[in-house]
């Protein structure tokens, strides 16, 4: 394929993407394909001879596209949003076009430096304490990771290394290996599975502590767990606080957890993967009160900030904690000999290679502007509130817990069996997508405002779909019998909270 | 930004990328910027108000582009190549356009299934044993990881889990934690730093065993290390063999290492990050003789196969080894209830979320065809051989070791000081980029054919740049004095092998 053909194919692809979003309301949210559809349809071997782009493009639109779920349809309400936007897509295109790998400063100076700049910008927009920023005089700074999962593992490994060094300093004779296996991590039982997986991957025991009735991990619970475990000879090492849990978007009180961690020199990591985006609006910053106690803080810009996956923004107070843990000193090109503070980001992450991800973040920050991003967040929250109002106006439904950010959780007053049936029926029709969670041992449906294109009419379309399906299960004229509710069912009490890509 | 503006900006961006490659021979390979250039040039805060795309695009071309290293210039000969190609760039664009996250089959059926199909295609093109393929009747299969680094860690963690389960089965009373700290991994002292880092990240001791004079880790060396460590009470668990080492592109003999691993139930992982791409040409498959002993096999399609970073192709013989190690069973959407064998790829990796990376791989395989890709590999190898011939024709130079794949290592007969000086002088002028390595305690320069656009003339341009700079150090009329060579210098004997993004 020469550059002329690329110009033609590329522009056709741009038009495809534009049309795709122009027609985002068409078609079912869930595709009508069976498991194995592509395995059956596509040849068993790669083609020997080159195919022309027109043929491949046709294959794409006729074979691949029909098997994709419409994550950006206004009726996609599952998980939490995954970001996309026109500026971000172009940022990705230009990044692939430049095709650099930012493994050292010299390997692509702009790749490293734009990451420093945009992470400072974003950290300031969130109102993070200055010590988290590269532009402060201290050792703090921001770095783009691939996912909140990665950020949680990276910080767990750094915490393990830091605690080992601390204990070794206090007592140089300790056996490192035997000490490390006593380390233990904590989070709430409302955490995303990726947090628990970080413990598995990082070889650290992890306790999922019971959240309170509002889904929040409290300081007292954590303190008690520390005491219990220390009595058993274990060493508290790492705590993951959740700002915006996956199930119900609950916010752990950092101002309670922080002092408990500080007292024991335990690393406090904040997983604000989805909801952290709201901190660009000052009116939501109360929810991160106590953030000054955190050692690390992560928000997925690729969730609610219109940046395409992957762009997980991680800040740490002391970047040497990462460098000490990850720097395998065999790298010849230690090439930044400058007065300026320039990070060698390869020591801030697990992998060696790095894409130029800052470019899409920069595009989004410039083309939306801070005001544009705040308007996006506020609009989505107001749409969720509008949906909650519609649900509450119907006696057959209960909205619980209180809606938070773009998430509304609801259930049928009739009980779990019907709520579950309602969700199943809706999914089967493929026109709307939501997932379940559990709250206070009840089966609940989660509706998240995901698509950036969603407007008030779209919310009303979603509500009508839900209402119409409900009418088939509980005709409106039978609403008065709702007191004869079906008891909650034991066998679904164990359904774990549903998940969002991290 | 509305869809009309996206069409305009997108098409301008496509033209930028096409022009960028049309003019790939213009300009210096290394940018003329100082550390901190962007930090000084860009504002301290994100803009409050939106900026129009024309302004942002101008900023991009005038501020960002001048700070990027030209990885695709034919005079970029550093590290190993990073892939880029027109079909891959469009695959990435369409993937961002669809904006799906493949965390379950239902979350985007085509995302999962196209990965199955393309990994089967690629595995067959490499001539991998059938048990590595999803299309076999067994539990093997391929999965796209972000990097060879990730693949090495993922398999190390799976090996640790598998060995623990095996020992637990033999003796249910063992203490898991105390057993795991006895595990030990092995690789050669020629490995990429990412392999050593995997040991650090995965909390497993790792021995870097001495390679032979050709840079290869031999079976006897491994066997001896196993015996020594077992005598110390350690448990051999994981071996990483390198097919194409970073420094000199040496190939470990799998047929020697394999039987040693098999005897001790040790996981054999093959890191063929760069050179594995050559196995699409049958004439190079001798170099992977013994691959049937491997448990896992990784090639970066994003290195030498024209796919943009990131796309690291990993195959395992038994996917349950990954699932057992990584599946944190709290995920509600276990939604594939089919006769067909469909992987839940989130259990095959560290992260929860997944991009639709198979799309760019599919584009490349279709638009180049197997024949096109083979022609690319063969052409690049023949260009390296042409360069080696030019160097050998000049008495001032020594080519050593033998060129392998697209890599030629050379040094000045005068000795290490002048060789190092030559490289420094060349880098300083920014017109050509190469990195150093050490071989038999000598300082050597590595030249890799990296850019897909490289032709014979380009190779001669590179040679002329090197020759002209050498003329300044050793005038041609003094060539006869080369026997008075400067002894190798002790202080550079410890320079570690240079690195390539993984």
Q: Which residues of A touch B374 (CB under 8 A)?
A: none
* Dihedral-angle region of residue B127 (phi above 0 means left; psi in -120 to 50 means alpha; beta otherwise): left
Task: Quote the tokens at residue A179.
Answer: 């000490």
Chain region(s) in chain B for CATH 3.90.1150.10: 373-492
Higher pLDDT, B396 or B324: B396
Chain region(s) in chain B for CATH 3.40.640.10: 125-350
Q: What average pLDDT does the segment B453-477 reach?
A: 95
Q: What average pLDDT does the segment A312-329 reach?
A: 89
What does the pLDDT look like over B360-387, one tens digit per residue?
A: 999 999 999 999 999 999 999 999 999 9
According to the model, what pLDDT value does residue A264 have?
97
Mean pLDDT of chain B: 92
Asked casually if ipTM beats, i.e. exceeds, 0.85, the reply is yes
According to the model, what pLDDT value does residue A24 have?
96
Residue B449 predicted with pLDDT over 60: yes
Report d(CA A223, CA B9) in Å as an integer: 54
- Is the torsion defined by CA of B281, B282, B284, B285 positive or negative? positive
Q: What average pLDDT does the segment B287-315 reach?
A: 98
Q: How confident is the model at residue A488 (pLDDT cuts 50, 70, 90)?
A: very low
Mean pLDDT of chain A: 92
Contact A499 B352 (CB under 8 A): yes
Residue B486 predicted with pLDDT over 60: no
- What's the per-residue H, E or C state across B175-202? CHHHHHCCEEEEEECCCCHHHHHHHHHC
Q: How confident is the model at residue B352 (pLDDT cuts 50, 70, 90)?
A: confident
Residue A330 predicted with pLDDT over 60: no
According to the model, what pLDDT value does residue A148 have?
95
Q: What average pLDDT does the segment A212-228 reach?
A: 97
Nearest to A69 among B30, B106, B355 (CB): B106
Between CA B206 and CA B210, with CA B209 as vertex, the angle to 5 degrees is 155
Least confident of A307-316, B93-102, B251-260, B476-485: B476-485
Nearest to A100 among B71, B338, B437 (CB): B71
Residues contacting A297, CB < 8 A, separation 6+: A128, A132, A269, A270, A272, A276, A291, A314, A315
Please write down the long-range contacts of B374-380, taking CB distance under 8 Å and 24 or more positions apart.
Answer: B374/B280, B374/B281, B376/B306, B376/B452, B377/B277, B377/B278, B377/B280, B377/B281, B377/B304, B378/B281, B380/B304, B380/B405, B380/B406, B380/B449, B380/B452, B380/B454
Residue B437 predicted with pLDDT over 60: yes
According to the model, what pLDDT value does residue B480 have?
46
Residue A481 predicted with pLDDT over 90: no
What does the pLDDT look like over A244-299, one tens digit per residue?
A: 999 999 999 999 999 999 999 999 999 999 999 999 999 999 999 999 999 999 99
According to the model, what pLDDT value does residue A478 have?
56
Give me the residue label for tokens 């996609």.
A76
Q: Are B211 and B250 in contact (CB under 8 A)?
A: yes
Most A CBs within 10 Å, among B53, B93, B498, to test the A interface: B93
Distances (CA, A) of A343 to A101, A116, A210, B39: 15, 8, 39, 12
Least confident of A167-171, A225-229, B83-87, B342-346: B342-346
Nearest to A20 among B45, B97, B201 (CB): B97
The pLDDT > 90 percentage for chain B reads 84
Higher pLDDT, B374 or B340: B374
Chain A to chain B Cβ contacts (< 8 Å): 491
Reference A106, options B35, B420, B80, B423; nearest CA is: B35
According to the model, what pLDDT value does residue B332 have?
43
Reference B8, options B43, B77, B56, B40; nearest CA is: B56
Reference B441, options B494, B381, B393; nearest CA is: B494
The pLDDT > 70 percentage for chain B reads 92
According to the model, what pLDDT value does residue B484 have?
38
Q: Which residues of A touch B325 (CB under 8 A)?
A: 200
What does the pLDDT look like over A179-193, one tens digit per residue?
A: 999 999 999 999 888
The pLDDT > 90 percentage for chain A reads 84
DSSP for A250-313?
-B--HHHHHHHHHHTT-EEEEE-TTGGGGGGSGGGGGGGTTGGG-SEEEEEHHHHSSPPSS-EE
Most B CBs within 10 Å, among A33, A68, A443, to test the B interface: A68
Nearest to B496 among A330, A355, A495 (CB): A330
Q: Which fold has domain A121-351?
A: 3.40.640
Reference A104, options A348, A301, A311, A322; nearest CA is: A348
Residue B496 predicted with pLDDT over 80: no
Q: Are A122 and A301 in contact (CB under 8 A)?
A: yes
Q: How confident is the model at residue B334 (pLDDT cuts 50, 70, 90)?
A: very low
Between CA B233 and CA B238, with CA B237 as vertex, the angle to 5 degrees is 140
According to the model, what pLDDT value does residue B336 have?
54
Q: What average pLDDT does the segment A373-398 reach?
A: 98
Q: Which fold has domain B125-350?
A: 3.40.640
Least confident of B55-59, B139-143, B279-283, B346-350: B346-350
Contact B149 A72 (CB under 8 A): no
Q: What are phi and psi of A448, to 5 degrees?
A: -115, 135
Reference B251, options B227, B278, B220, B223; nearest CA is: B278
According to the model, what pLDDT value does residue A486 have?
38
Q: Which residues of B touch A146 (CB under 8 A)?
A: 146, 351
Contact A370 B48 (CB under 8 A): yes
According to the model, what pLDDT value does residue B184 have?
98
Contact A110 B38 (CB under 8 A): yes
Residue A319 predicted with pLDDT over 60: yes
Q: Are A204 and A156 in contact (CB under 8 A)?
A: yes
Nearest to B98 among A11, A68, A331 (CB): A68
What does the pLDDT look like over B96-117, one tens digit per residue?
A: 999 999 988 999 999 999 999 9
Q: Which residues of A touch B448 (CB under 8 A)?
A: none
Give me the residue label for tokens 């993984």.
B502
Q: What average pLDDT does the segment B11-26 reach?
A: 97
Contact A56 B103 (CB under 8 A): no
The CATH code of domain B373-492 reads: 3.90.1150.10
Residue B485 predicted with pLDDT over 80: no
Residue of A nearest to B336 (CA): A35
Chain region(s) in chain A for CATH 3.40.640.10: 121-351
Residue A489 predicted with pLDDT over 70: no
Residue of A nearest to B52 (CA): A367
Contact A109 B67 (CB under 8 A): yes
According to the model, what pLDDT value does residue A160 have?
96
Give me the residue label for tokens 């206090």.
A170
According to the model, what pLDDT value does residue B302 have?
97
Residue of B nearest to A328 (CA): B197
According to the model, what pLDDT value does residue B250 have?
97
CB count in 10 Å sphere of residue A217: 30
Most A CBs within 10 Å, among B45, B282, B352, B434, to test the A interface: B352
According to the model, what pLDDT value does residue B327 have?
74
Q: How confident is the model at residue A172 (pLDDT cuts 50, 70, 90)?
A: very high
Q: How confident is the model at residue A337 (pLDDT cuts 50, 70, 90)?
A: low
> Rounded to two decimals, what is the model's pTM?
0.94
Beta-strand ranges (E) seen in B243-284 are: 267-271
Reference A460, options A25, A21, A22, A23; nearest CA is: A25
Question: What's A488's DSSP letter?
Answer: P
Higher pLDDT, A438 or A462: A462
According to the model, what pLDDT value does residue A351 have?
86
Q: Which residues of A touch B497 (CB under 8 A)?
A: 330, 332
β-strands A296-300, A267-271: how paired? Answer: parallel
Most B CBs within 10 Å, among A97, A122, A495, to test the B interface: A97
Contact A436 B308 (CB under 8 A): no
Residue A483 predicted with pLDDT over 60: no
Contact B13 A203 (CB under 8 A): no
Q: Are A119 and A343 in contact (CB under 8 A)?
A: no
3-state class (DSSP) for residue A121: helix
Most B CBs within 10 Å, among A8, A350, A498, to test the B interface: A350
According to the model, what pLDDT value does residue B353 have?
87
Residue B275 predicted with pLDDT over 50: yes
Residue A213 predicted with pLDDT over 60: yes
Q: What are phi and psi of B422, to 5 degrees?
A: -60, -45
According to the model, what pLDDT value does residue A497 have?
38
Q: Which fold has domain A1-30+69-84+373-502?
A: 3.90.1150
Residue of A nearest to B17 (CA): A97
Contact A108 B502 (CB under 8 A): no
């Amino acid at each position: 394929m020469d550059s002329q053909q690329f110009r033609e194919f590329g522009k056709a692809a741009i038009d495809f993407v534009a049309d795709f979003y122009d027609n985002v309301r068409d078609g079912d949210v869930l595709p009508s394909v069976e498991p194995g559809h592509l395995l059956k349809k596509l040849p068993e071997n790669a083609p020997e001879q080159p195919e022309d782009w027109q043929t491949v493009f046709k294959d794409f639109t006729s074979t691949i596209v029909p098997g994709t779920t419409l994550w950006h349809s206004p009726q996609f309400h599952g998980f939490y949003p995954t970001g996309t936007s026109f500026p971000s897509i172009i940022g990705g295109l230009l990044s692939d076009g430049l095709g650099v790998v930012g493994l050292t400063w010299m390997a692509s100076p702009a790749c490293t430096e734009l990451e420093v700049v945009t992470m400072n910008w974003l950290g300031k927009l969130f109102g993070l304490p200055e010590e988290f920023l590269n532009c402060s005089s201290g050792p703090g700074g921001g770095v783009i990771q691939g996912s909140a999962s990665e950020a949680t593992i990276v910080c767990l490994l750094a915490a393990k290394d830091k605690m080992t060094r601390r204990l070794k300093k206090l007592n140089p004779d300790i056996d490192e290996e035997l000490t490390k296996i006593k380390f233990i991590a904590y989070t709430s039982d409302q955490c995303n599975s990726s947090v628990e997986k970080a413990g598995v991957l990082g070889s650290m025991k992890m306790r999922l502590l019971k959240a309170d009735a509002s889904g929040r991990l409290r300081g007292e619970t954590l303190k008690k767990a520390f005491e219990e475990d220390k009595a058993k000879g274990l060493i508290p090492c790492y705590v993951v606080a959740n700002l915006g849990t996956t199930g119900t978007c609950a916010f752990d009180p950092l101002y309670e957890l922080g002092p408990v961690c500080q007292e024991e020199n335990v690393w406090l990591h904040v997983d604000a993967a989805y909801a952290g985006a709201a901190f660009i609006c000052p009116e939501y910053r109360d929810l991160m009160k106590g953030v000054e106690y955190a050692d690390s803080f992560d928000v997925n810009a690729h969730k609610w900030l219109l940046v395409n996956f992957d762009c997980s923004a991680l800040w740490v107070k002391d970047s040497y904690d990462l460098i000490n843990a990850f720097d395998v000193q065999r790298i010849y090109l230690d090439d930044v000999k400058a007065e300026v503070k320039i990070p060698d980001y390869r020591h801030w992450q697990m992998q060696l290679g790095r894409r130029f991800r800052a470019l899409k973040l920069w595009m989004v920050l410039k083309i939306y502007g801070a005001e544009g991003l705040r308007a996006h967040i506020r609009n989505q929250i107001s749409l969720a509130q509008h949906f909650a109002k519609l649900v509450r106006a119907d006696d057959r439904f209960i909205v619980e817990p209180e809606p938070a950010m773009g998430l509304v959780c609801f259930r049928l007053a009739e009980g779990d069996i019907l709520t579950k049936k309602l969700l199943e029926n809706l999914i089967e029709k493929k026109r709307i997508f939501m997932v379940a969670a559990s709250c206070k041992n009840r089966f609940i449906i989660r509706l998240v405002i995901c698509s950036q294109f969603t407007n008030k009419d779209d919310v009303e379309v979603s509500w009508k779909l839900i209402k119409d399906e409900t009418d088939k299960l509980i005709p409106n004229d039978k609403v008065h019998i709702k007191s004869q509710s079906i008891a909650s069912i034991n066998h679904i009490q164990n359904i774990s909270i549903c998940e969002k890509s991290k």
